[in-house]
Structure 1
Amino acid sequence: MDGQLMAFTGVAAGMVAMPGADFAVVVRNALDTRKAGVATAFGVAGGLLVHTALAVAGLAAVLVAVPVVFETVQLLGGAYLLYLGAGALIAVARHRSAATAPSAGARGEVPGPRPTVRLGTAQYLRQGFFTNALNPKAPVLFLSLLPQFVPAGQPALPRTLLLATIVVGMAAVWFPAVALLVDRLGVWLRRPRVSRALEATTGVLLTALGGVLLAELVLT
């Protein structure tokens, strides 16, 4: 493996593993079931595949060069993150209300695990995909990053395809591993208090990220 490829692998690993909206959505859905978390994880990898394919094809340059297209993606991305974040926070409020309901306390019942609305595998897959695919910063990142690791005099297309494959491959390993770890720790993580804290944290994170995207759109 040449030096540039080794350097890119390190950069890509840090980029994929960095906590953000993708990580938050995978963790939140893995609290429902292992299958939900893994499906979300592969959806995130699918979103990365879109971004890397656009960068390889040069279409990311069009996204960056045409402000209205970029702003539309930013608006959709911010709104979608707000939607997911608000859904998580509403769910936390409902679970807390259910746990402290007078009827339950009067009967001396111990609140059980948080109730969940189970979605189909395809819906979890879509959540992961859209969370990543609607990130407007990703095309800019890949457009600026990939060419830096193409050696002078080497054909660009095969090299960028290889780099894109490395990124997507890492995501296809890392995010399912996160989902499996969350499921492995499920006995502890699904305790009502811990589960609500995690869901509240992911809800705040997703809402904040969505708000930042929309604020940038308004301020620019």
Structure 2
Amino acid sequence: MDAQLLAFIPVAAGMVALPGADFTVVVRNALASRRSGMAAALGVAGGLLVHTALAVAGLAAVLVAMPVLFRTVQLLGGAYVLYLGVSALYALRRRTAAGASAAEEAPAAKLGPVRALRQGFLTNALNPKAPVLFLSLLPQFVPEGQPPLPRTLLLAAVVVVLALLWFPAVALLVDRLGRWLRRPRTARAIEGGSGAALTALGLVLVTGPLLH
């Protein structure tokens, strides 16, 4: 394993582990059930696979070069994350107003694995910053004189593998701590915090300036 690849691994790991909408969606679904958490984690990895494939194919460059297209993806991604956040806050308010029992307090309690998988995938796939990040990051770790395609494929595979390790680990940890995390007061705090975080992230994407 060469030095540049060794240097890329911790950079990619930090990028994958950086808390954001992906992390929040996985945690919320893992609180519902282990299956939903794992499904959301796999969905996030699937979204990363889309972005790495775009970067390797060079299509991410087209996205960056066309501001209107980039802004469209940015708005779609922001709107979806905003929808998730507002939905979480609304569900929390409705349960609180109805005086729901402790058993009904678990966040996203009725969310099945298929829907969780879709949430994880769309949350990541509609993130417009990801292709820009990959497009700018991957070339930095291609040694001079080496064919770029095989190298970027390898780097992209490293990112996806790290995501397949990290997000399921987060889901399993949340599930393991579930007895404490699902206590009514703790569950309400997590649901409210995650809903607020997703809402804020969505608003930033929807109202933020065009990124280059």
Give TM-score, length-normalised by structure 1: 0.92
Cα deviation for residue 49 of structure 1 reads 0.3
How many aligned residue pairs are there?
210
CA distance in structure 1 between the partners assigned to 2:20 and 2:70 by the alignment: 20
Shift of 1:217: 4.3
SS of match in other structure, 1:31: helix
Q: Any conservation in 1 of the 2:22–2:120 contact (CA below 8 Å)? A: yes
TM-score by length of 2: 0.95
Separation in structure 1 between the aligned mates of residue 67 and residue 15 of structure 2, nearest angstrom: 25
Distance 2:160 2:210 in 1: 32
Secondary structure of the residue aligned to 1:72 is helix
The residue number in structure 1 matching 2:85 is 85
Higher CA-based Rg: 1
**Any idea what SS the aligned residue of 2:110 has?**
coil
Asked if 2 retains the 8 angstrom alpha-carbon contact of 1:81 and 1:206, the reply is yes
* 1:112 alignment partner, one of 99, 102, 111: 102
Deviation at 1:219, TM superposition (A): 10
Structure 1 unaligned segments of length 5 or more: list them.
Answer: 101-110
**Equivalent-residue separation in structure 2 for 1:185 and 1:97 (angstroms):** 27
Which residue number corresponds to residue 142 of structure 1? 134
Partner of 2:63: 63
Deviation string, structure 1 residues 21-65 (Cα, Å, up to 9, x no partner): 000000011111000000000000000000000000000000000
Deviation, 1:6, is: 0.9
Report if the CA contact (8 A) 1:74-1:217 is conserved. Answer: no
Instruction: Tell me the equivalent position of 1:38.
Output: 38
Q: Which runs of 4+ in 1 moved over 4 A?
A: 217-220
Q: Is 1:147–1:160's contact at 8 Å kept on the other side of the alignment?
A: yes
Q: Which moved more, 1:90-99 or 1:122-131?
A: 90-99
- Once residues 140 and 57 of structure 2 are traced to their aligned partners in structure 1, the CA distance between those partners, rounded to angstroms, is 16
Compared CA separation, residues 14 and 24, structure 1 to 2 (3 A): same
**What is the aligned partner in structure 2 of residue 103 from structure 1?**
none
Partner residue in 1 for 2:185: 193
Which blocks of at least 5 consecutive residues in structure 2 are unaligned? none
Q: Percent same amino acid among aligned pairs?
A: 70
Counterparts of 1:75 and 1:158, CA distance in 2: 33
